[in-house]
Amino acid sequence: MTDDPVLRFALATHTQTIRALVEYLDASQQDTTTLPRFAVDPATCSLGRWLERNRASHGTLPAYLSAHELHSEFHRCLNDIVGLVRSGKRADALERLRAGSAFSRLSRRLLLAFDELAEAIERREI
């Protein structure tokens, strides 16, 4: 992976979102289920806001389009997991988060997409 600020930002915000989801799942056992809005709404998370702010400058890059779509898909899956918790299916939600799950693979694909985006931006700026 490159040492690009775009990638560092993506990694930090992605990690923050995953951490918020895990904390939400842990809290669901005590009925203190509050999830930050940024975790479920792709337009309000830092990464989603970065994508929108940079659409004009990077929006034509295939890597940008891929990262944007994967980011939206990630939030759709995250909302599905939250829906399971809210409907009392916490075990099913936890199963969706396990290593090797579709959500886990999507999470890795999203990070790889931002790595590709960082490299595409770097190539374009040289």
Tens of pLDDT along the chain (126 residues) come to: 456 677 778 778 888 888 888 888 887 665 555 677 767 788 888 888 889 989 999 999 999 999 999 999 999 999 899 889 888 898 999 899 888 999 999 999 999 999 899 899 988 876
Which residues, 6+ apart, have CB-to-CB distance to 101 below 8 Å?
95
Residues 76, 39: contact at Cβ < 8 Å?
Answer: no
What number of CA atoms fall less than 13 Å from residue 46's CA on the CB side? 12
Residues 86, 33: contact at Cβ < 8 Å?
Answer: yes
Three-state secondary-structure class, residue 106: helix
The continuous run of DSSP H or E covering 65 comes out as: helix 62-86
What residue segments make up the domains of the chain, in order of their start? 5-125
Global confidence as pTM: 0.84
